[in-house]
Structure 1
Amino acid sequence: MFKRISVQHLATGMYIYEMCGPWMSHPFWRRAFLLTSLADLQRLRQSPVTEVWIDTRRGKDIPPDVPCVVWDPQKGSPQAVPVAPPPQPQASINTTPATLGKELNQAIALCEQSREAMLDMFSEARMGSAISMDMAETLVNEITGSVLRNPDALLSVARLKTADNYTYMHSVAVSGLMVALARNLGMDEAQARRAGLAGLLHDLGKARMDPAILNKPGKLNDAEFAHMQGHPRASYEMLLGSEGIDEAVLDACLHHHERMDGRGYPDGLAGENISLLARMTAICDVYDAITSDRPYKKGWPPSVSLKRMAEWTDTHLDKRLFETFVRTVGIYPVGSLVRLQSGRLAVVSEPSTKSLTAPRVVAFYCTKSEKLLNPQLLDLAQTRQDRIVAQEDPANWPFTNLDSLWHKGAAATA
């Protein structure tokens, strides 16, 4: 069945059968294709094309309350379908809870789309173009939907970034962490999306920083560090003229490097003088930064990172918010290497909803015999035969397949 809809109701996953208007009015060389890229969606919305025909047999359908014209070739001419007024954009977000295994593939695809969208956004920022809030809000809606369905899928996948795409994927990861933290703080969906937007845009000012300094594979000298300290204000100034930008989001972009003891930058704010959204962004920003591989250092394991961050509360980070953040990502975040009482090593594949200390794990190595084992999925909340006795630093072991192990373990729970 074919449906003619406004481009404002398009979403990734829909199959575009035809674009209404002259072929030269749209930015694509194809007239029919599966819409998979958020960047392509934004390009289409900014083109002169206002309506498209979608083929619901080859892609996602629209929600039932979206206005459209329906055409079934077997039943004659196109017919307008009377519907109620369209809902607010956020109402279309699918937030139905999903297992980690079920959400994982969607999260992988979303991360790839997000990387392309952020690459475009940073490119526009470097050229001095106005930042499109439509693209950012569309991306945040997708991130929010994934996190609300299952936070561990997107947060785990977004952590697996490379040095080449760090700047772009860091923004996506912080956005997802912000949404998850907001929900654990009791914020509603609209507030969670605002938090996600702050996370997505907080480092946009790095587009104006010297690339040689931004990507330097070593410690910055004083002059280089002073240069990088300009990125929060650059983010603020770049976004200040954007239509519809939230003041709280602007403030978080400007002040996410402030510290609780007043020794941060750019304004030396302290304690409660730092906004809630900025204090949240500081925590999520630090966590993703120190767990990620960078040109000058290898990322710390998630569990080690949480221990280090706990030492920085009250001086750098808000202690109360950090306690909620730990509950958000779990004591043993997905991908953590742990030692079991049985002497086996295991990688965490999914947190437990019943116990922070008893996640699902994939056991794969025996420390007693020093031999690899056939990977075994264990739900530690359901068994009394084994438990976690210690966290392990992967750097102390010659394993290179931990990520593939937890992926397989997660997929087994779908």
Structure 2
Amino acid sequence: MIDGLQHAQRLATLLSGAIKGAGLYPPGHPASLQPFREMEALMLMLQRNGGDLRLAVVDGVLSVGEHLFFAPPAPLQELINRLEEKKIAGLILKPGVLTPDLTVLTRLMAEGSDEAGDLTRGLKEAGVKLIEVMEENSLSHTYNEAVSAVRDIFEEIGKGRIPNSRRMLTVVSSLASAAIKEPAALLGLALIKDYDNYTFQHSVNVGVLSMALSASMGHGEIEVEECGLAGFLHDIGKTRVDKDILNKPGKLSSDEFLEMRKHPEFGAAIVREMEGVPEGVAEAVLGHHIRYDRAGYPEWAREKEFGTTSKIVAVADFYDATTTLRSYQRPMLPDQAMKEIRKAVGGSLDGAIVERFMELTGKYPTGSLVRLDSNEIAVVFSPSSQPCGAAVVKVVMDPHGSLLENPELRSLITSGDNIVDLVDPLVKGIDVAQYF
């Protein structure tokens, strides 16, 4: 573990120095090549288990792979400053990055442009394919675009029109790419809960969770996109259900429930008329309430063959619905939601998919509010199967119960802290989403 930390620090130090010294030597000079060759060797050691290596900055804290630097030495602080100045959330170094790629990166990083997009374009023009740029808040921005796109679609259908799906397809493509790179990164997006905008955000959250789950199961980009589209559109049929039924607090009458049960059929019919949306999405929309035991609705479709997409959407729909405040329901804490999901296995939900979802979210899913053994209150940023309970948390309340003006990002794996219990955000008056 210590060796890994030292390798990570050395890599970041060399990268910082190479950016600072770009242009001091002519191309190909031995003195200019030596640091890049050492970086190559360090990346091989840090990537020995395969996969991408990420250098990222969150709230001023640098991470290199799994290693975080809370009190960085001067060279690392210079690298943090450079990334923040250029509005770069991080860099993704894929296996196989070599000296020529790194020299292009450092030259572009040393130049005066303050836009992450310019770095992305520069790498592309230079033919560098194994280094990717993470722009600041790009996922949050894309999430908000998704909510806006879904809102437009619902409104167009409400006016009796067939909506243009182009904007939604673009957004889903971006989120699917992010899901394949790092499924867990998407989970935090599903914490955004605007209760005045529940229908749109629930649809996007189900899409986001479905993509993360699909990607974690090893699906390709086309399958992940299909899951996202099915999640976004799973409730689109509710635009044809009476609003008094949709917004009714409490239990529906038998007639009202029969009307509500029509929304998968309405939805599938709408989706089939949307240009560019695959047929598999319509099938998943039709089947998301069929249930694993085939006791769901629509009854006439119980004998149809439904693929994995509808089963994934069913799990995502269940989780987001149970953890959201609505007029007739207090939101469940993540552990309560997980217990309910376990109970639903074999009935409404597929056990294999639930198992994968639980592996993805961990015992304390992203966004859980937890108490540490220090009596501090924290928000889970990165879940973990390790005994401490999470990889990274953000401490938001001190041991005496006072909210911190500057919440602290902390690695539990290195700090020695442990999670002892979940905390109800409503009791503490904490909006977890504001910390993401």
Normalising by structure 2, what TM-score? 0.64
**Counterparts of 1:356 and 1:250 in 2: how far apart (Å)?**
42
**Counterparts of 1:95 and 1:118 in 2: how far apart (Å)?**
32
Task: Give the equivalent residue in structure 2 for 1:24.
Answer: none
Task: Give the equivalent residue in structure 2 for 1:362.
Answer: 394
Report the CA distance between 1:197 and its aligned residue.
1.4
Task: Give the equivalent residue in structure 1 for 2:10.
Answer: none
- Any idea what the Cα deviations from partners look like across 1:107-166, whole Å, max 9, x if unmatched? 322222222211111111122222333233112112223434544454323432222211
Equivalences for 1:122-137 in 2 at 5 Å? 122-137=154-169
- Given residue 387 of structure 1, which amino acid in structure 2 is its aligned partner? N
What is the aligned counterpart of 1:345 among 369, 377, 382? 377
Is 1:253–2:285 an aligned residue pair? yes
Q: Secondary structure at the match of 2:335?
A: helix
**Counterparts of 2:133 and 2:336 in 1: how far apart (Å)?**
29
Q: Which runs of 5+ in 1 are unaligned?
A: 1-55, 67-80, 82-91, 408-414
Task: Give the equivalent residue in structure 2 for 1:398.
Answer: 428
Does the Cα contact within 8 Å between 1:337 and 1:393 map onto a contact in 2? yes
Report the CA distance between 1:267 and its aligned residue.
2.8
**Counterparts of 1:238 and 1:109 in 2: how far apart (Å)?**
27
Equivalences for 1:122-201 in 2 at 5 Å? 122-201=154-233
Does the Cα contact within 8 Å between 2:186 and 2:212 map onto a contact in 1? no
**Counterparts of 1:380 and 1:60 in 2: how far apart (Å)?**
33
Report which structure shows greater RCO (CA 8 Å, sep ≥6): 1
- Given residue 305 of structure 1, which amino acid in structure 2 is its aligned partner? A
When you count helix as a share of all residues, which structure comes out higher? 2
Report the CA distance between 1:370 and its aligned residue.
5.5
Equivalences for 1:233-382 in 2 at 5 Å? 233-267=265-299, 273-352=305-384, 357-365=389-397, 375-382=407-414
Does the Cα contact within 8 Å between 1:334 and 1:350 map onto a contact in 2? yes
Task: Give the equivalent residue in structure 1 for 2:247.
Answer: 215
Report the CA distance between 1:188 and its aligned residue.
1.0
**Counterparts of 2:385 and 2:335 in 1: how far apart (Å)?**
18
Task: Give the equivalent residue in structure 2 for 1:388.
Answer: 419
Does the Cα contact within 8 Å between 1:111 and 1:157 map onto a contact in 2? yes
Report the CA distance between 1:64 and its aligned residue.
8.7
Alpha carbons of structure 1 residues 343 and 269: separation in structure 2 relative to 1, 3 Å:
farther
Structure 1 residues 345-354 or 176-185, which shifts more? Answer: 345-354
**Counterparts of 1:95 and 1:220 in 2: how far apart (Å)?**
54
- Any idea what the Cα deviations from partners look like across 1:281-321, whole Å, max 9, x if unmatched? 10011111111121222322223211211111111110110
**Counterparts of 1:123 and 1:381 in 2: how far apart (Å)?**
47
Alpha carbons of structure 1 residues 246 and 221: separation in structure 2 relative to 1, 3 Å:
same
Does the Cα contact within 8 Å between 2:362 and 2:385 map onto a contact in 1? no
Does the Cα contact within 8 Å between 2:211 and 2:224 map onto a contact in 1? yes
Q: Secondary structure at the match of 1:178?
A: helix
Does the Cα contact within 8 Å between 2:180 and 2:216 map onto a contact in 1? no
Count, aligned residues: 320
**Counterparts of 1:59 and 1:132 in 2: how far apart (Å)?**
30
- Given residue 226 of structure 1, which amino acid in structure 2 is its aligned partner? L
Report the CA distance between 1:262 and its aligned residue.
2.2
- Any idea what the Cα deviations from partners look like across 1:346-380, whole Å, max 9, x if unmatched? 2213335978933312334466x556567443211
How large is the Cα RMSD of the aligned pairs? 3.4
**Counterparts of 1:131 and 1:95 in 2: how far apart (Å)?**
37
Report the CA distance between 1:57 and its aligned residue.
10
**Counterparts of 2:254 and 2:190 in 1: how far apart (Å)?**
31
Normalising by structure 1, what TM-score? 0.68
Is 1:120–2:120 an aligned residue pair? no
Does the Cα contact within 8 Å between 1:346 and 1:365 map onto a contact in 2? yes
- Given residue 268 of structure 2, which amino acid in structure 1 is its aligned partner? Y
Alpha carbons of structure 1 residues 269 and 400: separation in structure 2 relative to 1, 3 Å:
same
Does the Cα contact within 8 Å between 2:376 and 2:401 map onto a contact in 1? no
Q: Secondary structure at the match of 1:359?
A: strand
Report the CA distance between 1:244 and its aligned residue.
4.1
Does the Cα contact within 8 Å between 1:340 and 1:346 map onto a contact in 2? yes
Equivalences for 1:26-105 in 2 at 5 Å? 96=132, 105=137
What is the aligned counterpart of 2:257 among 215, 220, 225? 225
Report the CA distance between 1:233 and its aligned residue.
0.3
Q: Secondary structure at the match of 1:165?
A: helix
